[in-house]
Amino acid sequence: MPRAASPIAIKIRPRTGVPDLLRRAVFLDRDGVLNRAVVRDGKPYPPTDLKSFEILPEVGPALAALKSAGFLLIVATNQPDVARGVQTLSTVESMHDILRQSLPLDGICACYEEDGPDCTCYKPKPGLLLDAASKLNVNLRASYMVGDRWRDVGAGVAAGCTTIFIDRHYAEDLRDTPDISCGNLAEAAAAILKDMKAPIRGAPRIPRKT
Ligand SMILES: [Mg+2]
Ligand SMILES: [Zn+2]
């Protein structure tokens, strides 16, 4: 058994002064989105040690662009290897320290459990997103979930976000249809910046005066 850890680890930076009701977030999966995933037999896995933890080159500029457009940037990641006992919590947290030091993130939310009935946050469950949204007053309907697996798309759909699938051509199928598909985080950021100018999905229409 791994050492006891809080099932949900949330570290959120202090508020930035943006009016609460207007807050939008981009929720970001970790492996295969921010850092390079290890791909074996067509399936992605997290890097096992700090030496192989590599932030992808397009990520810094993409997040800077989203940040300056006013988005909160919140990582939402499943890390079940901690519960399985094949990865230590401290190694995963060291990886998250690197992310915090290198990228303009507002929070990192992780599920360290395995999928099961007692966990409300293992994606595709929306717990990580719902928790961060309530803590930071995020409007989920005006927010985005970006990920490279069906679980990320599923969590985004369940939370009411616009979903963006980064297609790495893994040997697995999607279970929900993402709103947008693209090849990497640079393309995802460009798609978000374009989409955010359109009316918010699900927002009531303002009746037109005749
Ligand atoms: Mg991933
Ligand atoms: Zn969980």
CATH number at 17 reads: 3.40.50.1000
Report the pLDDT value the prediction gives residue 196, as an integer from 0 to 100.
87
60 domain-assigned: yes
21 domain-assigned: yes
69 domain-assigned: yes
2 domain-assigned: no
How far is 80 from 151, CA to CA, in rounded Å? 13
Q: Which residues are placed with Cβ below 5 angstroms of ligand 1, an ion?
A: 29, 31-32, 148
Report the pLDDT value the prediction gives residue 4, as an integer from 0 to 100.
42
Distances (CA, A) of 143 to 22, 67, 116: 11, 13, 27
What average pLDDT does the segment 13-18 reach? 53
Report the pLDDT value the prediction gives residue 121, as an integer from 0 to 100.
96
How far is 98 from 75, CA to CA, in rounded Å? 13
Q: Which amino acid is at 120?
A: T
Question: Nearest ligand to the C-alpha of residue 123?
Answer: 2
Which structural domain range is residue 27 located in? 8-195
Statement: residue 91 has pLDDT above 80: yes
207 domain-assigned: no
pTM for the whole structure: 0.86
147's enclosing H/E stretch is strand 144-147
Q: In Å, how far from its chain's centre is CA 209?
A: 40
- Per-residue tokens: 141: 């309907």
**pLDDT tens digits, residue range 92-124?**
999 999 999 999 999 999 999 999 998 999 999
DSSP state of 55: B
User: Mind telling me the catalytic residues?
Assistant: 29, 31
Going from the Cα of 8 to the center of ligand 1, the distance in angstroms, rounded, reads 18
Statement: residue 9 has pLDDT above 80: no
Angle at 123 between CA 81 and CA 80, to 5 degrees: 5
Report the pLDDT value the prediction gives residue 18, as an integer from 0 to 100.
54
Going from the Cα of 205 to the center of ligand 2, the distance in angstroms, rounded, reads 36
What are the helix (H) ranges across the chain?
Answer: 59-68, 81-84, 89-102, 127-136, 150-159, 185-195
Report the pLDDT value the prediction gives residue 86, as an integer from 0 to 100.
96
Number of domains into which the chain is organized: 1
Distances (CA, A) of 79 to 63, 137, 196: 22, 25, 30
